[in-house]
Amino acid sequence: MPDSPERPWQEQADGLVLRVLVQPRASRSQFCGLQGDELKLRLTAPPVDGAANACCQEFLAKLFRVPKSAVRIESGESSRHKRIRVLGATAAQLEQALGN
């Protein structure tokens, strides 16, 4: 099934590309649904010295059961709006994590 244009992810040959809105300093790290055309991800880490980016990579690596090195922030290193590639991940894994 082709990806719908309104979905905030694209499944590609090497994995998934996600459009994510990050909310740092949350009480726990979790996906909390869609916000506009992005996945909203709450993270416990503060947005200083790359801590939120590292937390984001760790959370996604654990979620998709891939090494941290397979999670790459392609754009948005210093922004709440990020484009993240997860090598080896599938849309089915993401949909399961989102409860769809």
**What is the model's pLDDT at position 5?**
56
Stretches where the chain sits below pLDDT 70 are 1-5, 100
CB–CB of 50/57 below 8 Å?
no
| 92 within domain boundaries | yes
pTM above 0.85, yes or no: yes
Q: Is residue 2 part of a domain?
A: no
Which pLDDT value is given to residue 6? Answer: 76
- Can you tell me whether residue 60 is helix, strand or coil? helix
User: Can you list the alpha helix ranges (DSSP code H) found in the chain?
Assistant: 51-64, 91-98
- Give the integer Cα–Cα distance in Å for 77 and 55: 12
1 found inside a domain: no
Q: Is residue 52, in this structure, part of any structural domain at all? A: yes
Structural domain count of the chain: 1
Please indicate, yes or no, if residue 3 is contained in any of the structural domains.
no
Domain CATH number, residue 51: 3.30.1200.10
What pLDDT does 3 receive? 52
Structure tokens at 50: 């790359």
> Domain containing 83: what range?
9-98
With beta carbons less than 8 A apart as the criterion, state whether 34 and 49 touch.
no
Q: So what's the pLDDT on residue 56?
A: 97
